[in-house]
Amino acid sequence: MKPAPFDYVAPTTVAEACQILSEAGGGATVIAGGQTLMPLLNLRMSQPFILVDVNRIEGFAGVTRVSNGTRIGPTTRQADALNDKVLARELPALVQALSHVGHHQTRNRGTIGGSIALGEPAAEMPATAVALGATIEIASVRGTRRVAARDFYIGPYMTVLEPDELVTGIVYPDWLEGHHVLFREVARRPGDFALVGMVGAAVVESGTIARAGLAWFGMGPTPIGMNRLEGALVGEALDRLDLDALAAVGLADAAPFDDHHASAEYRRTVGRRIFVKTMREAFALREPA
């Protein structure tokens, strides 16, 4: 199939892109990697009047260190991020999650910002942003704003992003060197969207969890931060963790559903199991006798 007719523009500045989006009155769509958008255009499930290609905007790609954090430009290719030394050092949880995104070929075109802005509920990058406490930088002709990833997603493929707004960066706060990576997903095949997944990080000091950030994906209409679980973990000694009880706390924040891939009950059961296994392996905990 072929997409419906549209005008194509490739602005070179954020101001130019925002002006085009503003004047389009909701009829424009941003393209970065196009791994999701192009099939939707070909199926005519998306029919914008204007396609705004943001790949030529200077400074939109790349990874930089900022005050107390790491910033990823929205058009940074997933393959480049996967091999970035700064991300490997500062955000190993993101890199591990990224290695499960799509396939080698799609990661060559897919972008970090595109995945974050799309908000696929079963995707790794939105959930990682939620788990690690990332902030989304947004611009429009009305100015700029910053939105916490936990407040960015409001429904399936729905975000707080207005039609005239553009994601200009994603900033991840620093995590203490040597923190523990928490990641596991279950998918039908490598590269498929997860049926169930969890991602996060934890800082342990003197045998006690001092900081934790976790999120589910594939477990509800949006990536879901495990808010209550994080509160329950902080201050707990590793040798006193009741993983089954903690799994129940984590699942209380989830909203699993039935679909043609899996049932809600399957997702709850698998979610509990991967949580216990991931925590046990991350902290080198013995299985109960």
DSSP labels, 225-242: E-HHHHHHHTT-BGGG--
* pLDDT higher than threshold 80 for residue 287: no
The CATH topology of domain 64-173 is 3.30.465
pLDDT bracket for residue 45 (50, 70, 90): confident
Query: pLDDT tier at 41 (50, 70, 90 boundaries)?
Result: confident
pLDDT for 68: 96
| pLDDT recorded at residue 138 | 98
Q: Which residues partner with 222 through β-bridges?
A: none
Q: Average the pLDDT over 129-147 and give the result.
A: 98
In the chain, where are the structural domains located?
7-53, 64-173, 180-282
39-53, 85-99, 102-116, 206-220 — which is least confidently predicted? 39-53
Q: What pLDDT score was predicted for residue 289? A: 57
- How large is the average pLDDT for residues 143-168? 97
CATH of domain 7-53: 3.30.43.10
For the domain bounded by 180-282, which CATH number is listed?
3.30.390.50
DSSP for 57-73, please give it. STT-S-EEEETTEEEE-
Q: Is the pLDDT of residue 194 over 90?
A: yes
Count other Cβ atoms within 10 Å, centred on residue 75: 22
Rounded to an integer, the average pLDDT of 27-56 is 91
Q: What is the pTM of this model?
A: 0.96
pLDDT at 35: 87
Distance CA(134)–CA(136), nearest Å, equals 7
3-state secondary structure 32-60: CCCCCHHHHHHCCCCCCCEEEECCCCCCC
CA-only gyration radius of the chain, Å: 19
DSSP state for residue 159 in the 8-state scheme: E
What is the H or E stretch that residue 143 is in? strand 143-148
- What's the burial of 250, exposed, middle or buried (CB within 10 Å: 0-12/13-18/19+)? buried
Mean of the pLDDT values across residues 228-250? 97
Q: From residue 221, how far is each of 129, 158, 207, 257 by CA, in Å?
A: 16, 9, 35, 9
Confidence of residue 3 (pLDDT cuts 50, 70, 90): confident
Domains 7-53 and 180-282 share a fold: no
